[in-house]
Structure 1
Amino acid sequence: MKRGGEYARDSRYLTTRITADGRDGFPVEPGRYRLVVSRACPWASRAVIVRRLLGLEQALPMAIAGPTHDQRSWTFDLDPGGRDPVLGVERLQEAYFARDPGYDRGITVPAIVDVPTGEVVTNDYAQITIDMSLEWTAYHREGAPALYPPALRPEIDAVNETVYGDVNNGVYRAGFSGSQESYAAAYERLFNRLDLLSRRLEGSRYLVGDTITEADVRLFTTLVRFDAVYHGHFKCNRQKLSEMPVLWAYARDLFQTPGFGDTVDFDHIKRHYYMVHRDINPTGIVPVGPDLSNWLTPHDRAALGGRPFGDGKPPEAVAPDEAVPAGHTPLA
């Protein structure tokens, strides 16, 4: 927390990279690493979506932590015996301490763990998805989309920078504000940016170019949590997403696109925010609503043109062992 009650995110990440040439000591190798995520976390959800869109499920196996955690760490309470079956640990914290016994930063997801050593390689979520696009190309599925095409990278980077500051992190700046003044500033900044994004998307199906890119993934993970969590829990309540026609249609378009909505677990999302943030929600009561069936209503965005996967094609159906449980999504 900064002076004046402004929320400040700890951005000290492990920035080691897994690359095709192994220049940081960690070469891309199928099956060597384990992507640890929680479906509750928007930063981890980016990695889940990109991995699925690119078809990296076999090359980069995934571990799913439970939706809640304590001050120590995310836990593998969804797995039999409460341990990840590959890493053999109960808490993600153990992989961070294997890398650095004195580690004193956030135990965050997504994190990529080197299975042979049990050590976290990186938790630099922004770079993780870029490297999935650029460094893991040998293992992309046939028909995988170009999420970070060279010609569009400057524009994607510029959009991502403003979306991160004002929207992705903006909802947290509002929700965790320590003063009325800092909350009001974050609130205004958030909705000003959402208004600008609405105008940008009025005549364009996607944020940059005519296909899905990294920019759409990053905005989507905040939008999909907006009505279920951020509107009430984080006091981002000028309007619900479902009351912002352009962004609501845009979000539904992505949700109904293979690779997006089929990774979203609304049950985990709500349990995480409402049960973990006891300073905001002391009772830990998880709301029953909202009604999620409206995510499947027609969006009519195809009339704007655009090709979701460019010259490629949608991913195959989700593997049964990675499917979101029935009742946790309107798609089930």
Structure 2
Amino acid sequence: MSITPLAAVRPAHRTAPLFRGRIGRDARSGHYAVPHRYRLHLSTACPDGLRLAVGHSLLGLDTRCPVTLLPAVPDCSDGGHTALRPLYEASAHHYTGPALDPVLSDDWSGRIVSTHTPDILRDLDRLRPDDRAGLYPAGLESVIEAVERMCAEGMEEAAQRAGRAGADPRERAAALDTLLDTLDRLERRLKGEEYLADGRLTAADIELWVSLVRLDTVHRCHLDASAVHRVAGHRALWAYARRLAAHPAFGRHLDLDGIARRHHGRCQGLEAAGAAVQILDWASHAAHTPGACRR
């Protein structure tokens, strides 16, 4: 598969320290890949939390790595979660910043291992049972990384710029062109294909699916009707999103109300007329299975 990555990687929007511990990589860290030691703290209304929740389910980690679900809207004025503050304070001396999600913690030490979502998902892959397929198959690493970059820069960042209030109209038009070009490339790849890479479900599909959810539930609200019509014209992409929403590991984690509340709490985009109707009816397509994540 040939996907040319864009130059930038996923931008950092954090003001809290970025913890980058790894499981099973550096023996000096003491973070060994053993079951029942680590815990995820996440909100599925957050895109990174949704990525991790889907990956966690696909890897069958309910008993090996429990999940603590956080509220859709953080309960602290600085954008953090009260429930995460003890972990941050135990992990950073005299910590006074926001306690942001998602977090992978070590139940043995009561400290944070990582707050970096791409690393966390790769490390969860090491914790999976032997009977579960991995999300990062050998030989597909470069494809997955290229998709991650395309979704971060060509979809997420471009859609934000295209709908940003106060931006120059020419800048918004250029951002929309970048978004549509990215969608065109992915559309061509998915025509006649079930998944992005080698006919199997991988981390690339998690990345793209969450980006499509965000595009339709958040960024669409700030694009005009003409732009949304052009975005919706990528039929293979939206059929792919619909298929994955029906997969229990994907659709059961969709918190549409939580996504909307989290978005409205921090929204700085344009108010767009004519783009009120979602491209997909996510609620009707999503598979809802009780017990998606255990507290």
TM band (smaller chain)? 0.7 to 0.9
**Which residue identity lines up with residue 72 of structure 1 in the other structure?**
D
Aligned positions of 1:1-332 closer than 5 A: 9-10=12-13, 13-19=18-24, 22-69=27-74, 70-75=76-81, 90-103=82-95, 107-133=99-125, 135-137=126-128, 140=129, 142=131, 144-176=132-164, 179-180=167-168, 181-233=170-222, 238-239=227-228, 242-277=232-267, 279-280=268-269, 290=278, 293=281, 296=284, 318=289, 320=291, 322=293
Q: Which residue of 1 aligns with 2:7?
A: none
**Matches of 1:117 and 1:234, distance apart in 2:** 46
Residues 16 and 215 from structure 1, CA distance in 2 versus in 1: closer, same or farther, beyond 3 angstroms?
A: same
* Higher RCO (C-alpha under 8 Å, 6+ residues apart): 2
**Matches of 1:260 and 1:226, distance apart in 2:** 16
Residues 32 and 47 from structure 1, CA distance in 2 versus in 1: closer, same or farther, beyond 3 angstroms?
A: same
Deviation at 1:120, TM superposition (A): 1.6
Contact preservation (8 Å) 2:151, 2:211? no
SS of the residue aligned with 1:187? helix
1:143-191 superposed Cα distances (whole Å, 9 cap, x missing partner):
x223211022222222322222212343334445752254333322112
Greater Cα shift, 30-39 or 174-183: 174-183
SS of the residue aligned with 2:29? coil
**Matches of 2:160 and 2:94, distance apart in 1:** 28
SS of the residue aligned with 1:63? strand
More helix by share: 2
May I ask how many residue pairs the two structures share in their alignment? 276
Q: Which residue of 1 aligns with 2:6?
A: none
**Which residue identity lines up with residue 256 of structure 1 in the other structure?**
A
**Matches of 1:63 and 1:233, distance apart in 2:** 32
Using structure 1 for the length normalisation, give the TM-score. Answer: 0.72
**Matches of 1:119 and 1:235, distance apart in 2:** 45
Residues 288 and 177 from structure 1, CA distance in 2 versus in 1: closer, same or farther, beyond 3 angstroms?
A: closer
Deviation at 1:234, TM superposition (A): 6.5
SS of the residue aligned with 1:232? helix
Contact preservation (8 Å) 1:275, 1:281? no
User: Structure 2: where are the runs of 5+ without partners?
Assistant: 1-9
**Which residue identity lines up with residue 144 of structure 2 in the other structure?**
I
RMSD between aligned residues: 3.3
Q: Percent identity?
A: 29
